[in-house]
């Protein structure tokens, strides 16, 4: 079950965190994985995957630049013959409310979290229309519930959910499924970097506080999100489209 053999997948932001876990698990399940990331360290992940018998490639990419996505998609199609899975995982965060968030921060988040997803959809969907495929977008519980000081981030993730529903509806006749995942807090290098920068000397204390802020009492591990991604992108989920899946340790329904 959950085999991705003979599938070609794109994972944006696949060099670290959730994207890295998705790339690793997809490769393990037989997919050829193309990792799009701005971080050159993603090359090390590709080496690890290929050394373990998987198939992967790294493409330096800024998802906010459509011409870069277009060129990469063309090269992947030329090499692999098609694209069966697109995981729009690349994203950036910001802390601030409507008063404290600067205009340049709104634009920066829009370019990556919204325009980046659009760019990939725009370039990959024409390829998928020939064979069918699966699109998975990374949203957030911030698109569903109010979270303090996440104004711009919440805005962009709400847009991701909207793009997911529109894409699922528009291309269902072309055998293209589109869903999204909405994680709560996940223990990634981003979290560690945020704590070190914001709470120097109190990282452990604040990590515990953030972890206990979720009803389940801990943060998710990237692999836990990746396993849900695997299911939604597999043939076993062939009847699922147009859905947003919270993976939140009970945050939305139980945190009251």
Backbone angles phi, psi at 171, to 5 degrees: -120, 20
136: left (phi over 0), alpha (psi -120 to 50) or beta: beta
Detail the DSSP E strand segments found in 105-195.
133-138, 176-183
Cβ atoms < 10 Å from Cβ of 40: 10
Give dist(CA 233, CA 238) in Å, integer.
8
Q: What 3-state class would DSSP assign to 164? A: helix
| 33: β partners | 9, 56
| 57: β partners | 34
Q: Which residues are catalytic?
A: 153
Among 7, 51, 46, smallest CA distance to 29 is for: 7
């Amino acid at each position: 079950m959950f085999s991705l053999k003979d599938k070609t997948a794109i994972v944006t932001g696949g060099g670290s965190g959730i994207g890295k876990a998705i790339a690793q698990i997809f490769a393990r399940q037989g997919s050829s994985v193309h990792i799009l990331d701005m971080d050159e360290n993603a090359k090390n992940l590709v080496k690890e995957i290929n050394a373990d018998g998987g198939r992967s490639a790294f493409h330096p990419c800024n998802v906010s630049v459509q011409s870069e996505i277009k060129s990469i998609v063309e090269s992947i199609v030329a090499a692999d013959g098609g694209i069966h899975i697109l995981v729009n995982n690349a994203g950036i965060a910001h802390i601030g409310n409507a008063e404290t968030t600067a205009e340049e921060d709104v634009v920066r988040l829009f370019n990556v979290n919204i325009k980046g997803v659009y760019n990939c959809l725009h370039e990959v969907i024409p390829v998928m229309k020939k064979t069918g495929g699966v699109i998975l977008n990374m949203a957030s519980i911030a698109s569903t519930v109010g979270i303090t000081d996440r104004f711009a981030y919440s805005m962009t993730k709400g847009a991701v959910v909207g793009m997911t529903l529109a894409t699922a509806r528009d291309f269902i006749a072309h055998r293209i499924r589109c869903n999204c995942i909405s994680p709560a807090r996940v223990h990634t290098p981003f979290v560690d970097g945020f704590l070190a920068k914001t709470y120097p000397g109190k990282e452990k204390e604040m990590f515990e506080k953030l972890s206990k802020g979720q009803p389940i009492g801990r943060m998710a591990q990237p692999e836990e999100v990746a396993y849900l991604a695997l299911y939604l992108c597999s043939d076993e989920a062939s009847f699922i489209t147009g859905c947003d899946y919270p993976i939140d340790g009970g945050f939305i329904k139980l945190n009251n």
